[in-house]
Structures are given as structure tokens and as C-alpha cells.
Structure 1
Amino acid sequence: MNQSTASSNRRMLSGALRIFLAEAVLLPTGLLTAGFLSRQLGPEGYGLFTLAAVILTWVEWGTSSVFSRTTIKFISETRDDWQPVMVTVLRQHLWLGSGAAIALCLFAIPIASAMGEPKLAPYLWLFAPQILLFNLSRAHRTTLTGLGRFSEQAIAGASRWIARLGLIVLFVSLGFSIGGAILGSVLATSIELLMARRSVQLPLFHPNPMPARKLWAYAAPMTFYSLALQLYTKIDLLLLKALGGTAEQAGFYGAAQNLALIPGLFSMAFAPVLLSSLGRVRREDDLGAAKEMSRNAMRLGFLVLPLGAIVAGAAPEIIRFIFGNQFLAAAPLLALLIFGALIQILTSVASVTLVAADKPQWTALLTLPLVPIVCVAHSAIIPRWGAIGAASVTVGIISLSAIATLIAVYFTWRIVPPFATFCRSILVCIGIYFLSAHWSGTGLWLFLNLSAIALLVPVCYLLLGEFTSKEIALIRHFKS
């Protein structure tokens, strides 16, 4: 590992950690917000707010994710004059966000009628401006990622979640009820946009903007990839209910899904940073360094698997501590879904590598066929095996997706993750699972014991000879 590659790896890990910690602010602030609103609004009011927020989230992410990875790729590969790219990106976000907001307003009443909740329509109207604000904010934050300014990107993201908690508590406490909660969310998104724009001012006009068709040529397959990914990783709960599952089973499954969220946050943080880093390395025409960086990133996907073993081994105690004894049926579901979430990191890394290698269409071609496969598999398995069958299908499909994308990366750049790392990871998983299952504890001891077990993971890898002397030096430098 040469000095340039080591520096790039340090920068990539540091950037991913900053963004992950910023997005992880969602966990405590989200729990506090949910606890406050559920008590202030009551079951019916909180249900209406949640329903409106879920609909909004699908629209927000569906529109803003169209250009995210494409933006990062183009900016990171541009040496100096990145403004022509961002003029086109900002305009497309503006049109998409505005169009989606208007569409939500037009269809609010039909959506509310379909849900059997006429009161929902005004809340969707009030939420609609957030779609445009979120799209504009995402354009600025992906620009910061592409430019390698990870700290500023992280600050903008964290500011939204902190402001959202404070503003929602303020407006609801003043008596504005559901409308106040929505207003607080919209204003928090405005704060995120202002914080991001304070760091980078994107222009709307440029004498020579990048042609929109060039942007869409990359964005279209990535959009299909993102939509397919959301479908085959999130459709399990819907199909479980549609295929005869009870509300109680759906509750158990939802609880397990929520606890398996953290690896997804890391994947969301790591993938754009990796793409930005690969873009800058490729800009210097150093294909060898780009391949080494991708291989190390795939290796990281194997190295984190023992974290799933910790959660799987202690799943009953984790469920009991957070949800109570009545949710213990969610424990085996969590033990499966946590591995699915971790394996998804491998898929994300491999797909980023394909985009960096100018093969964005491959991501869609590899992912779209999995949607009908997962639907057929769930339809066959769920009626017989219920929730545990749904979780097994989800993990199986995610694993199949990871294998397919890794094979595609091999045919593109002739690189594979180290087989020795995979073997060591399996060995560590077995030992860590046994330790976690028999030494998890209860209450406060649960988290103390699991933290101690987590610290043993890198020690095990070190004793098994996973890390080279240069990597040990890199870790020491990173800690300092």
C-alpha cells in the first residue's frame, strides 16, 4: 500500500465515520420525537402523522435519490470546473421536487380516500413543500460529498435531526398538534438546506451547463437500481401482512426491522464517500489505486459480519430490554435480518464500484430481476413458514444480490474480496455468536457486555493475522 493509497483510505474511513455519526443522530432524536408525539397526539393523531410522514418519505427519497450517486461521480471526477455539472443537477432537483410536491397536492384527496382517512389530505398539503426543500438540500449535500468535504456534509445532516426534535416539541407544546409537528419537520429541512448552502453555493445559471441527457444516461439505471433495492428489501413486511399474517406478526417483524436499521445507516454513509474517493483516484488516472480501494472496501464488508453475530446471539435479551417480553417472538427475526442488513453493505460497495467503472447500467440489470424472484419466493414461503420464512427469503435474496454484484465487479476490474478474510470472518462470527449468546446479561449489563464483546472482534482478527503492519499503522494514525 503506497502513501497515496493509504492517505485516500484514511480520508475515506474518516469521511464515512463522520457522515455515519451525523446520520446516527436520527436514532436518539427519532426515538425522543416518537415518544413525545405518541403521548401528545394520542394513538389516532400519531397514526395520522406517521402515515403522512411515511408517504412523504417515499416521495422525498424516490425523487432525490435519482441523481445522488451520479452527482457524486461526476463532481469527484471533475478537477476544477464542477459548476456546469451542478447547474444541471440543481435544475433537475428543482423540477423533480416541484413536480412531486404539486403531484402530492393534487392526489392528496384520492390518497386520503384510499387510506380511509379523509383527515389525511390537509396534512399531505402541509407536508408538500418539504419535498422541494429536501431535494434542494440533497443536491447541496451530494455536492459536498463529491468535493470531499465530508465534515460539512455531516454537519448539515445532523442539524436537521436536532432541529426537527426541538421544533416539533416547540410547536406541539404551543398547541399546534399535528400541524405543528409537520411545520417543525418542514422548517428543520429548511435549516438543513441553509446549513448546506452556507458551505457551498450552487448556481442556477452557467454559460455552458452539462447536457441534461448526459446526467440522465447515468441516473436512469441508478434510479431503477434504487427502486428495486427498496422493493426487495422492504416488501417482506407488506407481503407478510397481505399473505395472511396477523397484525401481531407484523408488529414483531416491524420491531426486528427497526433494530436492523443501523447497518443501513452505515451503508448510506459509506457508499457515497467510497464513490467520491474512487472518483478522485480515477481522476488522477490511477486505476490500480482505485482497484485496491474497492477491494479493501469489499473486504470491510466481510470484516463487519461478526457485529451481526453479536446481535444475533443476544437477540432475545435485546428485544426484551427494548420492547418487553411480549415481543420476544421478534428475536429470531432480528437474528436473521441483522445479517441481511450487513450483507447489504457488500452489495452497496460492489454497486458503487460498478458506477465508478462506468457500468451504471449493470446495477439495474443485476437488481431488477430480483424483484419478481423475491415476490414469488415470499408467496411460496410465507403461507407455510410465516414471519421467519419472510426473513429467510429477504436475507437469501440480499445474499444473492451481493454475490451477483461481486461477480460483476470481477468481470469489470478483475478484483475479488480476499477469500482468507471471508474464512476468518466466519470463524470470528462463530466464536462471537457463542460468547454473545451465553454472556449477554440484562439491563445495563447487556450493553456493557455487548460493548466488551465488540471490542474483542478486532482483537480476534489481529490474532488470526488479518491485518498487515501497514494497516495497523493506519489504524493507529486514524485513532490519533
Structure 2
Amino acid sequence: RLYGGFEGKGDFSSGALMRFAVPVSLFFMATALLMHIDILFVKLLLGGSEQAGFYASAQALSRPIYFVFGVFGVILLPSISKAMADGDLWLARRYISRSLRYMAMLLLPLAFLISASSDELIALFYDRSFAPASFPLSILVFGIAFLSMSLALSAIIQGYGRPGVPLIILLCSVSLNICLLLTLTPLLRLPGAALATTATCLANMIALSIYVHSKFKALPSPTSLFRITLSSSILFPIAAGVIRSGALLLPGCVGLLGFYILTLRTLGEVRGEDLIFIRGMLDVKRRRG
């Protein structure tokens, strides 16, 4: 039996639903804890509202990508669940590899751009007195990117019928985060708290990736991930030297994203099937419109 959550189509007993719903609910509660526990330790260990205010501003500017890319998890969970219930492992693998690859292609360049332009973003949305928030933001945005990817990986495992696995991994990650926060926050202050959360989210993503790979063998290829990471990382030094605050911030970011797509195309990462997929998505949107 490929799908471990239910016996088959139409088998939605109250017991089965509870076995699925309870760990998923606890999972989202633990996710909320992971997203907020760092600022609690900043208040506890560094004292005063000023440091907490700086860190909160870094959190606020890093989190939109989590809420934007959360849609991948919403789409993946029922898709994987349906494929597994139908016994279609090939289709499940296709969903997983494509979704995670496209997610990485979108997430990584945004994370590098936000990190490189953290000074300008803080000045744009707050003011120069919040400058101490820029360095934590440049670190924390990668943690939020890892957490966004973790949400998609967790949805895959939940759709496979193992909702307890992401919960257990996440609870271990929360424990790791507490240990890192207690160690790094007093030592490095705000950047230490951001580093603790980012390292925790990376560890959480790696653990989930290992589990997904063991069950599906469907993660994006190392070559693909290398090309995406290389193309994204090239943006950082360019953005740090080119992007300026004010009216030029948005056009600069758009121009760099165009350069990123061109780099992917040059490296052979953007292929004909991707263009067909994107064109198909646009056609669907037009028909719905």
C-alpha cells in the first residue's frame, strides 16, 4: 500500500481524520512557535524594547516570502495525497520534483536580493535609526526561505500519509533553536538570534529532504540545485553594489531578476518544458479570467 493515511478512496472515518488532523494542527502550532521564539529570546537575553524592536522589523521584512510561497504546500498536500491514493508513484514524483525545483528557482534569488539590499529595505520601510536591523535581516531572510521550503516538504510527507513525521522533526528543530538561541544571542546579539533561527530552519529542511528522498527519490537533481544556487548567489555582490534606496530600488531588483533568468537560461537550467509549463499556466489564468 503506497498511501499510508487511508485505506483507500472514500475511507474517511472519524478516527482516520483525527489521526491526520491532530498532528497537522500541532505542526502549524509548532511552526508558529519556531517563527516567534527568537524574538522572545531577544527580549529575555538582551533586555529592553529597543533591541526587540530592531529584530521585529527584520522579521517583518523577511516573512512575506513565507506567506507567498506557502501556496506550494497548499497545492502539494492534496496533489500528493490523490496520487498516492491512486497508487501513481510516478505522478507523485513528478509533482515533487517540479514543485520543489520551481520553488527553489523563485525563492533563492529573492532571498539573495533581500539580503543584499537589507540596508535599503530597512531605510525604505522604517528609517536610518533602524539600521541595526539590517544585518539580522540579511541573515534571517535565508532562514525564512529554508522554512518556506520546509513547509512544502512537510506537505509532501503529510500527503504521503505520515503527518507525524514533520511534527517530530519540527519539535526537534524547536529544541535545537532554543539551544542555539541561548548560545548565540548573548554572544552575537541580534545577528546571533538570526543565525540561530536560520541554522535551525536549514537543519529542519535537510531532515525533511532526507525523508522525502528516502520515500520518493524525487528531489531536484544536484546539478539543477547547483545552477540555481550559483545563478542566485551571483546576484548578491551585484545587488550590494548597484541597488540604491528610493525610486531606483524596485527597478534595480526587477533588472537583476531579469539578469538571473538570463543566467539560468545560459546555464541550461531554464528549458523548453519550463516555458511550455509557464505558457500553460498563463493560458489557464486567461481562460479563468
Cα distance change of structure 1 residues 434 and 396 upon mapping to structure 2, 3 Å threshold: same
Task: Write the letter of the residue equivalent to 1:256.
Answer: A
Give distance in 2, aligned partners of 1:385 and 1:441: 28
Q: Is the 8 A contact 1:332 1:388 kept in 2?
A: yes
Which residue of 2 is the match for residue 293 of structure 1? 95
Q: Does 1:222 align with 2:24?
A: yes
Query: 1:29-66 CA deviation, whole Å, 9 max, x = no partner?
Result: xxxxxxxxxxxxxxxxxxxxxxxxxxxxxxxxxxxxxx
Matched position secondary structure for 1:243:
helix
**1:232, CA displacement in angstroms?**
2.1
Which residue of 1 is the match for residue 44 of structure 2? 242
Matched position secondary structure for 2:268:
coil
Q: Does 1:325 align with 2:128?
A: yes
Query: 1:290-342 CA deviation, whole Å, 9 max, x = no partner?
Result: 11111122223322201111111111111111101111111111111111111
Matched position secondary structure for 2:87:
coil
Which residue of 1 is the match for residue 108 of structure 2? 305
Which residue of 1 is the match for residue 80 of structure 2? 278
List 4+ stretches of structure 1 deviating above 4 A.
none
Which residue of 2 is the match for residue 363 of structure 1? 166
Matched position secondary structure for 2:243:
coil
Deviates more, 1:366-375 or 1:393-402: 366-375
Q: CA RMSD in A?
A: 2.0
Which residue of 2 is the match for residue 465 of structure 1? 268
Q: Does 1:344 align with 2:147?
A: yes
Q: Does 1:258 align with 2:34?
A: no
Give distance in 1, aligned partners of 2:51 and 2:244: 27
- Over the matched positions of the two proteins, sequence identity in percent amounts to 23
Structure 1 unaligned residues grouped into runs of 5+: 1-72, 86-209
Higher relative contact order (CA 8 A, sep 6+): 2
Q: How does 1:119-130 map to 2 (within 5 A)?
A: none
Give distance in 2, aligned partners of 1:365 and 1:274: 20
Which residue of 1 is the match for residue 229 of structure 2? 426
**1:283, CA displacement in angstroms?**
4.4
Give distance in 1, aligned partners of 2:247 and 2:154: 39
Give distance in 1, aligned partners of 2:69 and 2:272: 27
Cα distance change of structure 1 residues 374 and 476 upon mapping to structure 2, 3 Å threshold: same
Output the TM-score relative to the length of structure 2.
Answer: 0.89
Give distance in 1, aligned partners of 2:85 and 2:27: 25
Q: Is the 8 A contact 1:302 1:421 kept in 2?
A: no
Give distance in 1, aligned partners of 2:172 and 2:80: 28
Which residue of 2 is the match for residue 315 of structure 1? 118
Matched positions, count = 277
Give distance in 2, aligned partners of 1:362 and 1:231: 18
Q: Is the 8 A contact 1:357 1:412 kept in 2?
A: no
Give distance in 1, aligned partners of 2:275 and 2:249: 30
Task: Write the letter of the residue equivalent to 1:218.
Answer: F
Q: Does 1:443 align with 2:246?
A: yes
Deviates more, 1:290-299 or 1:452-461: 452-461
**1:391, CA displacement in angstroms?**
0.1
Task: Write the letter of the residue equivalent to 1:272.
Answer: V
The structure number with the bigger radius of gyration is 1
Give distance in 1, aligned partners of 2:101 and 2:48: 40
Give distance in 2, aligned partners of 1:349 and 1:416: 12
**1:459, CA displacement in angstroms?**
2.0
Give distance in 2, aligned partners of 1:361 and 1:455: 41
Q: Is the 8 A contact 2:173 2:201 kept in 1?
A: no
Which residue of 2 is the match for residue 385 of structure 1? 188
Give distance in 1, aligned partners of 2:46 and 2:158: 40
Q: How does 1:36-435 map to 2 (within 5 A)?
A: 210-303=12-105, 304-435=107-238
